[in-house]
Amino acid sequence: MDFFEAINSRYSYRGAFTKEKLSNDDIEKILTAGIAAPTGMHIPTTSYIAITDENLLKELSYIVPGKSVLTATFVIVMLTENKSMMSGMNFEIENYSAAAENILLAITSLGYATVWTDGTLRSPSINTGVRELLNVPSHMTIRAVLPIGRPVTPLAPQVKEQISDTVIFNKF
């Protein structure tokens, strides 16, 4: 899929996925897209838990609500850590966000769908549940869960703002 087609056809998918499993090649492409994202001062701060194990996926679906997590055959959990000791600047949220968008676009371009699930993890009980299930070390922050698969009911992308709504050319 062409780059701009991927950008314009991406949407958040919260419905059911088919039972199709992703190939290892596609899994690798998706993860590599995240790792390829820019990072402040070229210091990587994002880690990925790539979940393919059926039992673990089922247990995760008891913690993170929604049809997409319930039916996904592949889930990425994105983690960050603060590595600002040298520079005093912490870019972990920016780094993770850049990686997440790269991943979303890779998923779309391969014909799969996902939803960037971050807000849901702000619930302390859900966050703790994910941490305990996956043995996430205490120095890492759980940022997002990305359930991935082939959508049963593909959707149209949302209508977005236009350039005229949001861009100021040159000066206010």
CB 72, CB 57: distance < 8 Å? yes
The kind and range of the H/E element at 4 are helix 3-9
Q: For the segment 135-164, give every residue that binds ligand FMN (CB under 6 A).
A: 158
Report in angstroms how near the CB of residue 86 gets to ligand FMN at its nearest: 27
Among candidate residues 74, 90, 103, 98, the one with its CA nearest the CA of residue 141: 90
Q: For the segment 13-52, give every residue that binds ligand FMN (CB under 6 A).
A: 14
The stretch among 28-36, 50-58, 73-81, 118-126 that binds ligand FMN (CB under 6 A) is: 118-126
Is the Cβ of residue 47 or residue 120 nearer to ligand FMN in the bound state?
A: 120
CA distance linking residue 96 with residue 44, whole number of Å: 9
Give me the sign of the Cα torsion angle 17, 115, 6, 42.
negative
For ligand FMN, the binding residue among 116, 140, 150, 152 (CB under 6 A) is 116
Across the beta sheet with 141-148, the strand order is 46-51, 74-80, 141-148
Is the Cβ of residue 71 or residue 117 nearer to ligand FMN in the bound state?
A: 117
For ligand FMN, the binding residue among 119, 125, 161, 171 (CB under 6 A) is 119
Shortest-Cβ-distance residue relative to ligand FMN: 119
| Residues found near ligand FMN in the complex (CB under 6 A) | 11-12, 14, 115-120, 158
